[in-house]
Amino acid sequence: MEFAAFADRAATIEAESADTAITESVTDLLADAGDDLATLARFVQGRVFPAHESTTLDVGPRLCYEAIARAAGQNVSADDVEARLAETGEIGEVAASYDFGGQRGLAAFGGGGADALTVAEVERELTDLAAVAGDGSQETKVDVLFGLFNRCDPDEARYLARLVLSEMRIGVGDGTVRDAVAAAFDVPVDAVERALQVSNDYGYVAEVARDEGETGLDAIDLEVGRPVQAMLAQAGTVTGALEDWNEVAVEWKYDGARVQVHYDGEAARLFSRNMEDVTDPLPEVVATVEASLDAPAILDGEVVAVADDGAPLPFQEVLRRFRRKHDVAAAREDVTVRLHLFDCLHVDGEDLLDASLRERHDRLAALFDDDVVSDLWLSADADEIGDVEAEALDAGHEGIMLKDPEAAYTPGKRGKHWRKRKPDVETLDCVVTGAEWGEGRRANVLGTFELSVRTDDGYAQVGNVATGITDAELDAVTDRLEPHVTAEEGRSVAIAPEVVFEVGYEEIQTSTTYDSGYALRFPRFLAVREDKTPADADSLSRVERLAENA
């Protein structure tokens, strides 16, 4: 296909506003694509390379402006191009506004002709351009781009400029291409979706859909060395997770950077969340993996920067390691990293995407014999989950992940099967007005604390807290409260309002359980506010406001 024909189709697509019309136009484009199918399935999304490839054009805006300026003629400089961009705000518009050499050439041929750019040629030239490296590479890249722009008419220039800067913006998203592939080659959308998840390559999937149909799509498997998109999480709550699932798989949410490990039986390669190859900057992670594995595997996890005492450092520190291309040894001295693996997508020829998290985690745990694998707690108890969260926070991590233990691994999906518990937006300072002695090992310490807020004439209860308190804190809190016990009945004690607890919670609900008319959902102990007296504690009217504004 001539590049001019692609530009023409792109312009048509861009002019459409309805999603269905856009999908239909992309469907037609793919159906007519012939040998250019794979390339067009990428170009239409503004991609030159498959999503799983780390290859980039490595063409910054300035370099592109220079190439445009050179093609536009002697009197135009990169600064002029940039100035026009400041006016119009869109690089395609700017590129289309110049008279390039090619326009005159095309006019002479009456459009098209021997010198007409083809889609295949653009793809080839850009692939060669991406491979240019070393001294003088920037100059060579400008030369290649100049050569292309010089043969463009305004419409071609518009879409070439956008393609080069990954700013296609014609309203075609991942979902559009998925649906268009399904429609163009009469295969089920689900089969296309799965194949895309597994291969991360729209071009390849489009070709398989056309040439081998549904059977071919179903046969696409994960491949060691070809990264897949990471499964993502939504914000969620413990109460929500407990409502939705019988049991919740709880893990620490490590504060680091996502890493996907591909081990081919001999060597490991590592990929970042956006599928960049980060093998070289992380030799000790590679060594950890290679020391334990003896069969091919694809694993998912987080790399965390740690201080000398093992405590996690802010995640910016780990990014310093990810970005390091030179002098890795020195960077390694500066920032120590640890690998925490939490999922397993493939082991020794077997894809595990469709297996449950429960099974995938078991398979992962069987591959390593040290503490590389995340601890996973299965729980149906909010207090227990709260304790895991308290431990995670104590250990310096971000909080917890709540996962559906039965769910499959869905690459690239921000679904509801993985949830990250948001940090508390608000906390409440509550007065402790009662408590209960613990049981068994904890019989000598107070365990559950009655939380109240101030009212006009006293205090009203909003809940009980038993979660988030370490054993050491329980001892200290018991010593602090015991002198204020005013009455005792069974394990329950009444306590004079003296001590203020800061508590986190997920939600405030109206409730008839407590005399305040409200109940904190999933309250967690955060601290004793020694700096506050009950007079400084929160009031019922604040609770009312918080409940209303939720």
Ligand X SMILES: Nc1ncnc2c1ncn2[C@@H]1O[C@H](COP(=O)(O)OP(=O)(O)OP(=O)(O)O)[C@@H](O)[C@H]1O
Q: Show the tokens assigned to 492.
A: 């329950």
251 has which bridge partners? 401
- By the rule CB under 6 A, 232 interacts with ligand X: yes
**Which residues neighbour 394 within 8 Å (Cβ) at sequence distance 6 or greater?**
470
Q: What track of x and - describes contact with ligand X for positions 169 through 188 (by CB under 6 A)?
A: --------------------
Q: What is the three-class DSSP state of 333?
A: helix
Provide the 10 A C-beta neighbour count for residue 384: 15
Q: Was 420 annotated as part of a binding site?
A: yes
Question: What binding mask, one character per residue, do residues 233-252 give for ligand X by CB under 6 A, x or -?
Answer: x-----------------x-
Stretch near ligand X under the rule CB under 6 A, chosen from 148-156, 185-193, 209-217, 229-237: 229-237
Helix or strand or coil: residue 251? strand
Based on the residue annotation, tell me whether 532 is a catalytic residue of this protein: no
Helix (H) or strand (E) holding 193: helix 189-199
Q: At its nearest, how many Å lie between ligand X and the CB of residue 356?
A: 15
Which of 253, 413, 416, 422 is the catalytic position?
Answer: 253
In the complex, residue closest to ligand X by CB: 232
Does 317 bind ligand X (CB under 6 A)? Our answer is: no
Site string for ligand X, 410-449 (x = CB under 6 A): ----------x-----------------------------
Determine which residue in the list 45, 199, 288, 374 makes contact with ligand X, applying CB under 6 A: 374
* 258 annotated to a ligand binding site: yes
Distance CA 314, CA 323 (A): 15
Q: Which of 66, 302, 387, 506 binds ligand X (CB under 6 A)?
A: 302
Residue 168 touches ligand X, criterion: CB under 6 A: no
Tell me if 219 sits within 8 A of 351, measured CB to CB: no
| Cα-only R_g, the chain | 30
Closer to ligand X by Cβ: residue 253 or 321: 253
Q: Which residues of 430-467 are buried (b: 16+ CB within 10 A; e: fewer)?
A: bbbbbbbbbeeeeeebbbbbbbbbbeeeebbbbbbbbb
Place of tokens 């093998």: 279
Query: Nearest distance from residue 406's CB to ligand X, in Å?
Result: 16
What x/- string results for residues 69 through 88 when contact with ligand X is judged by CB under 6 A? --------------------
The least distance separating ligand X from the CB of residue 302, rounded to whole angstroms, comes to 4
**Burial per residue of 3-16, b for 16 or more beta-carbon CB atoms within 10 angstroms, e otherwise:** bbbbbebbeebbeb
Q: What is the largest CA-CA distance in the chain?
A: 101
The residue from 146, 202, 263, 342 that contacts ligand X (CB under 6 A) is 342
Write the binding mask 251 to 270 for ligand X: x where contact by CB under 6 A, - elsewhere: x-xx---x------------
Stretch that binds ligand X, among 152-160, 228-236, 239-247, 438-446 (CB under 6 A): 228-236
Asked if 228 interacts with ligand X (CB under 6 A), we say no
| Main-chain dihedrals φ then ψ at residue 449, nearest 5 degrees | -115, 135
Query: Comparing C-alpha atoms, which of 225, 106, 193 is closest to residue 156?
Result: 106
The site for ligand X, by CB under 6 A, has a size of 12
Extended strands (E) in 424-491:
427-437, 446-455, 458-465, 485-489
Binding-site positions for ATP: 251, 258, 273, 302, 342, 414, 420
Which residues contact ligand X (rule: CB under 6 A)?
230, 232-233, 251, 253-254, 258, 302, 342, 374, 401, 420
Q: Which residues are designated catalytic?
A: 253
